[in-house]
């Protein structure tokens, strides 16, 4: 452009440089965290809609010494390939947590792990998962792997084969962020999922009365395919009431609980959220 003088280019360069610097800084923070046990997990309760009992939880990654959120650092972990090692750390940590609860004699509940698209087709991960479960004496049904639709964008044979291998280990599979973007119901007929997670953006639309038919049919359809349904990002009582009427199985969201530390979740482990 004619009028974009020197200053404009300089501005552009500074912005780009800032972004790049930020990324390099985050990458360093992540490398350091891997070396120094600098990650921790929070656990957000999932509640059985009909009875109010906690039925499981989702593990969410945090940096111990930094407020940088996963929405910022996960993409960097993915771009740099660090997600492979971080993903294994999360998996081991979650398996150790189930083992610890087993040791304490608690009534075991599955923990969900977020699985990045970048980890797909990593054969080493499958072997690692199986080995760690065996080593720690944890039954695979206590682990749930959350995959997102983006994994399915390329509906390749190897992706489906990978998911089937995951399934064959005995872990559960949930389809995360359902209802965002290019959501297609046909996915549900050819990938081995046990559960769909209705995304917050979708659940927010269900606050409008007009959309209730859509919500109800979506839940019915999932059920008719033999899938369970969990709604996430639930903040409003009205959403809970509607989802309950619509037959949704489980709910996760600030209405019941934010993500908790281990100490906090152990306190409410046998708590009924409706009493």
The one among 146, 171, 178, 239 contacting Ca ion by CB under 5 A: 146
149 binds Ca ion (CB under 5 A): no
Residue with tokens 């037959």, as numbered in its chain: 247
Give the Å distances, CA to CA, from 239 to 138, 206, 249. Answer: 35, 7, 13
* Cβ–Cβ < 8 Å for 133, 143: yes
Q: What angle do CA 240, 255, 101 make, to 5 degrees?
A: 105
177 binds Ca ion (CB under 5 A): yes
176 binds Ca ion (CB under 5 A): yes
* Cβ–Cβ < 8 Å for 234, 251: yes
Least distance (Å) between residue 114 CB and Ca ion: 5
Least distance (Å) between residue 106 CB and Ca ion: 23
CA neighbor of 177 nearest in space, from 200, 205, 145: 200
Nearer to ligand C2E, 36 or 217 (CB): 36
Q: Count other Cβ atoms within 10 Å, centred on residue 92.
A: 15
144 makes contact, choosing from ligand C2E, Ca ion, none, with CB < 5 to 8 Å by partner type, with: none
C-alpha–C-alpha distance, residues 164 and 170, integer Å: 10
Nearer to Ca ion, 46 or 158 (CB): 46
Least distance (Å) between residue 19 CB and ligand C2E: 19
170 makes contact, choosing from Ca ion, ligand C2E, none, with CB < 5 to 8 Å by partner type, with: none
Nearer to ligand C2E, 200 or 242 (CB): 200
61 makes contact, choosing from ligand C2E, Ca ion, none, with CB < 5 to 8 Å by partner type, with: ligand C2E
144 binds Ca ion (CB under 5 A): no
Q: Residue 216, exposed/middle/buried by CB under 10 A (0-12, 13-18, 19+)?
A: middle
The one among 46, 114, 116, 119 contacting Ca ion by CB under 5 A: 114
| Binding-site ranges for Ca ion (CB under 5 A) | 114, 146, 176-177
């Amino acid at each position: 452009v004619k009028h974009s003088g020197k200053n404009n280019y300089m501005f552009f360069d500074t912005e780009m440089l800032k972004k790049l610097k930020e990324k390099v800084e985050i990458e360093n923070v992540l490398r350091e965290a891997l070396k120094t046990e600098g990650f921790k997990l929070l656990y957000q309760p999932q509640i059985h809609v009909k009875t109010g009992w906690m039925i499981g939880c989702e593990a969410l990654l945090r940096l111990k010494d930094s407020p940088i959120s996963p929405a910022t650092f996960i993409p960097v972990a993915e771009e740099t390939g660090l997600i492979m090692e971080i993903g294994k750390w999360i998996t081991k940590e979650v398996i150790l947590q189930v083992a610890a609860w087993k040791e304490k004699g608690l009534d075991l509940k599955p923990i969900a792990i977020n699985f990045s698209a970048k980890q797909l087709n990593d054969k080493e991960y499958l072997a690692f998962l199986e080995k760690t479960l065996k080593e720690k004496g944890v039954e695979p049904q206590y682990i749930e792997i959350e995959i997102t639709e983006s994994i399915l964008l390329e509906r390749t044979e190897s992706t489906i084969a990978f998911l089937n291998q995951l399934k064959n280990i005995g872990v559960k599979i949930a389809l995360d962020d359902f209802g965002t973007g290019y959501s297609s119901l046909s996915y549900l007929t050819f990938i081995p999922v046990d559960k769909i997670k209705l995304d917050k953006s979708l659940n927010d639309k269900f606050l409008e009365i007009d959309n209730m038919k859509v919500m109800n049919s979506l839940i019915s359809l999932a059920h008719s395919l033999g899938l369970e349904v969990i709604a996430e990002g639930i903040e409003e009582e009205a959403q809970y009431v509607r989802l309950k009427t619509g037959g949704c199985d489980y709910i996760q969201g600030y209405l019941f609980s934010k993500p908790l530390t281990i100490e906090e979740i152990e306190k409410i482990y046998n708590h009924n959220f409706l009493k």
